[in-house]
Amino acid sequence: MISFEEITKIYDDGRMAVSGLSFEIQKGEFFVLIGPSGCGKTTVLKMINRLIEASGGRIMIEGRPVDDYKLNELRWNIGYVLQQIALFPHMSIAENVAVVPELMKIPRAESDKRVEHLLSMVGLDPDVYRDKRPAELSGGQQQRVGVVRALAADPDILLMDEPFSALDPVTREKLQNDLLELQRNIRKTIVFVTHDMREALKLGDRICIMKDGEVVQIGTPNDIVHRPADDFVREFLGDAAGREGFGASALTAEDLADPLAPDSRLVADGAVTVRADTALGELLWHFAVEERLLVRRGDEVIGLLDRDKTLRRMAREFQEGGAAE
């Protein structure tokens, strides 16, 4: 849905902010960009809606280069949420949220209905909040309004640049949960920037880890936790994995299995097979009776699990970080 093809950005001062970025974000995916300050996350985000023009390569949305879209068309179809949303202080919440739908000339009745629906979905009762001014709301509530405003025109894509990082931890956690719930209902393509690994592991369908303007690793939270590409990723993970419940108990049969040579005789031996995504808890039940398990994805046998080896591996994982669970 959004694809980066060899994207490079060199700012006017000659600084190379990002280089050679190539990746694809799927429709309906919650895609998290993470990395240290200055690694190019905001630059990536702003090139999607052309607040910043790329210096080389191209970005495609739905198979069309972003340069082909009219700017209005592009911006209206892409919601944008910043760390500090700037609500218009003299306008009511409802008016603030209806700004883009109005520009787009969406019929008032339709946009009102949508706005009320969205406000309730983020936990702001429209009857209570519709006519309030921004100053009457807490920081967390204002940020919720920011999310609603970005979604008011029903865009396909939502860009979020560290939207929760100015909030206290409790409020932040609430907004993360709300956003996940909201996403279950609306299924937008979300590109979410953070520098907080716990947040990334909690929210992302996939996580893209950046360093010095380049991609270090892209994978599911499970991939990143259990197969970090290098020491940088490992260090960046820190203890976030344990704290987000990605310790040993989140391992699956596929994570633990040894690859199996295609010609292995075991298949014919009628060994018990388990699905690739079988959770560790269930594997333990099998190991109570089986010494070895075959791991299958679809019709294909992809690996072998050995009881002793698996238990040794688990013991290691628990020692290293699982204790935090």
Q: Would you tell me which residues interact with Mg ion (CB under 5 A)?
A: 42
As measured in angstroms, the least distance from the Cβ of 142 to Mg ion is: 20
Of the candidate residues 17, 216, 224, 301, the single one contacting ligand ADP (CB under 6 A): 17
Residue pair 104/60 in contact (Cβ under 8 Å)? The answer is no
As measured in angstroms, the least distance from the Cβ of 162 to Mg ion is: 6
Residue 68 identity: D
Select 85 or 301, whichever has its Cβ closest to Mg ion: 85
Of the candidate residues 25, 32, 34, 42, the single one contacting ligand ADP (CB under 6 A): 42
Of the candidate residues 41, 202, 226, 296, the single one contacting ligand ADP (CB under 6 A): 41
* Residue 15 touching ligand ADP (CB under 6 A): yes
* Residue 11 touching ligand ADP (CB under 6 A): yes
Select 42 or 143, whichever has its Cβ closest to Mg ion: 42
* Residue 14 touching ligand ADP (CB under 6 A): no
Q: Which two tokens stand for residue 255?
A: 């994570």
As measured in angstroms, the least distance from the Cβ of 23 to ligand ADP is: 16
Count Cα neighbours of 195 within 13 Å in the Cβ-side half-sphere.
Answer: 12
DSSP state, residue 161: E
Q: How far apart are CA 149 and CA 114, in angstroms?
A: 11
164's CB contacts (< 8 A; 6+ apart) are: 143, 171, 172, 175, 176, 194, 199
Select 39 or 294, whichever has its Cβ closest to ligand ADP: 39
Of the candidate residues 32, 40, 172, 202, the single one contacting ligand ADP (CB under 6 A): 40
Residue pair 21/44 in contact (Cβ under 8 Å)? The answer is yes
Q: Are strands 189-194 and 157-161 parallel, antiparallel or unpaired?
A: parallel
The candidate with the shortest Cα–Cα distance to 100, out of 122, 125, 80, is 80
As measured in angstroms, the least distance from the Cβ of 194 to Mg ion is: 10
Say how many C-beta atoms besides its own lie within 10 A of residue 107's C-beta.
Answer: 9
Select 25 or 248, whichever has its Cβ closest to ligand ADP: 25
Residue pair 71/234 in contact (Cβ under 8 Å)? The answer is no
Q: Which residues bind ligand ADP (CB under 6 A)?
A: 11, 13, 15, 17, 35, 37-43
